[in-house]
Amino acid sequence: MAPNKTLCLSLLLAAAAAATLAAANGGKLSPAYYSTTCPKALPIVQSGVVAAIQKETRIGASLLRLHFHDCFVNGCEASILLDETASIATEKTAVPNQSVRGYDVIDDIKAELEEACPGVVSCADILTLAARDSAWMQLGGPSWEVDLGRKDSLTAGRAAVNTSIPPPTFNLTALAASFSAQGLSFRDLISLSGGHTIGVARCVSFRGHIYNDSDIDPSFAESLQQICPRSGSDGVLAPLDLKTPTHFDNCYYRNLLRKQGLLHSDQELFSGNSEADSIVRTYVNQPSVFFKDFVQGMIKMGNIKLLTGSQGEVRTDCRKVN
């Protein structure tokens, strides 16, 4: 299928997603972890995410990114949510996290959960569920079953943020190494990057790409240069997917074929590497494969370096340890 002749496809892939659910099970986690201790946990998280997206569509992408930034720094243990204290150096002020959003949504969901079942549902599980619900509930993406039972960290890891979160300037080799360090495969890198089918990025993040790179459509670069000058306007926003920025589909990959990836790191996924280029073309022509791979990647990412059992704690306030 020629990308310039085919409309972007958004699928309801319950069957494809269901085939991946077994991959989530393992360790001490279980989709039914809260079935008796907090049976309303999942509906409470879902309703909180839906309400937040209905208020501001962009927050769906923000919650997905919040989960990613948490998991890539010492694992999925909600350390990104901790505020600064005398003994905790918060991750929130590290440069890669300064544009991260969605903390208030997690706060609101946690408050409702504490009212329904105090001290039961961890902030780490809330982040994982909110990421799933953001892609699925309102934005047209796939769904999957989430194993639950994560515990929350007792500290944060600000020093690890700069070395763990891949910046938008990374080339393909560096991106692959960053994902491999988290136990994620090359294919996981390509599929999880598809989360950029929703959301926005700041001028400071794509300036170098639109002024200095050659692997970009000239007219696309020129249009972005109108809102993002060589200096100043760092906070001006542009959609990561120009075509359907608030809908979870495969347009992100179609953009790459046209050399219209917003970030340097986006376009690196389709820049002459035969394996990466082949995967991108597959996702363009078979969006069901993208959805399936994205689900598998999200399950794997959600299980990075977990705290379970007697490790960590269940915070009553996601912003501070008990």
Token pair 């926005």 in the structure block, residue: 200
Q: Is 272 annotated as a binding residue?
A: no
End-to-end CA distance of the chain: 55
Structure tokens at 35: 């079935």
Q: Is 147 annotated as a binding residue?
A: no
Q: Is 166 annotated as a binding residue?
A: yes
Alpha helices in the chain (DSSP H): 14-18, 41-55, 59-71, 103-116, 123-136, 158-164, 172-180, 186-193, 203-212, 218-225, 251-257, 264-267, 274-285, 287-301
Catalytic residues: 69
- Region of 199 on the Ramachandran plot (φ > 0 left; ψ -120 to 50 alpha; else beta): left
φ, ψ for residue 227, nearest 5 deg:
-110, -15
What's the CA gap between 142 and 144, in Å, rounded? 7
Which residue spans within the chain are E strands per DSSP? 200-202, 237-239
3-class DSSP state for residue 116?
Answer: helix
301, 302, 303, 309: CA torsion to nearest 10: 160
What's the CA gap between 245 and 252, in Å, rounded? 9
Q: Is 280 annotated as a binding residue?
A: no
Q: Is 57 annotated as a binding residue?
A: no
Q: Is 295 annotated as a binding residue?
A: no
Q: Is 197 annotated as a binding residue?
A: yes
Q: Is 152 annotated as a binding residue?
A: no
Q: Which residues pair with 29 in a beta bridge?
A: 26
- In angstroms, the Cα distances linking 314 to 119, 141, 246, 318 are 6, 29, 33, 9
Q: Which residues pair with 152 in a beta bridge?
A: 313
Q: Is 73 annotated as a binding residue?
A: yes
Binding region for Ca(2+): 70, 73, 75, 79, 91, 197, 241, 244, 249
Binding region: 70, 73, 75, 79, 91, 166, 196-197, 241, 244, 249
Binding region for substrate: 166
